[in-house]
Structure 1
Amino acid sequence: MFRFLVPLVLAVSMSTAVAAAPVDDQSRRPRDNDRRERQVEAAPQRVDLGDVVRRVASGRQGRMLGVSPRGDVVVVRWEYPGGRVADITVDGRSGRILGER
């Protein structure tokens, strides 16, 4: 009887030790979700594109043709009465209008 019991006990104890090792290793490393949460917290706040369009449209005649986020700025393509088209550059963090071309 002991001939069958000893190998069984050894096999169970070895598989338990092997299964426990990766868990201990993983507990030392930050989880992927934790890393993603830290990246999101560190990312700068971006202004809402709707707010950017409202700010550009305020006091301007004409219509918006399109809006395009480009890195740290947002570019709003605007058509004035008479057909002149301009690109209005807005700071993507503060929402402040930087210029017009």
Structure 2
Amino acid sequence: MARTRKRSIRVDDVDYRWTASRADPGHVVVRVWGVDSSQDIRLEARVAFDDPWRNYGPIITTDPERVAEVFASDPITPRLVERLIRAALAGPVSGA
């Protein structure tokens, strides 16, 4: 992830902005905030992501049937960000 780009998303008629940036070799941090200044909505989530460009060697040498369980290479998409927002709005998970 060369640069951090601010993106827009709308969930349940509320506008948000979000970014994704590298946290460490196996994770990115997704940050979300409300667009309206009256909203005090801030979310930060650490998401597993093994960059295929940085992990090319290990990925191609891993048993092909195990790649999906060993590496988290799904990109950070608006659908994922929407799920993160909905989970945060639902409140804390009990027993966590």
**Larger Rg computed on CA atoms:** 1
Q: Would you tell me which structure has more strand in proportion to its own residues?
A: 2
Check whether TM > 0.5: no
Question: TM-score per shorter chain, which class?
Answer: 0.3 to 0.5
TM-score, normalised to structure 2, is: 0.32
Q: Would you tell me which structure has more helix in proportion to its own residues?
A: 1
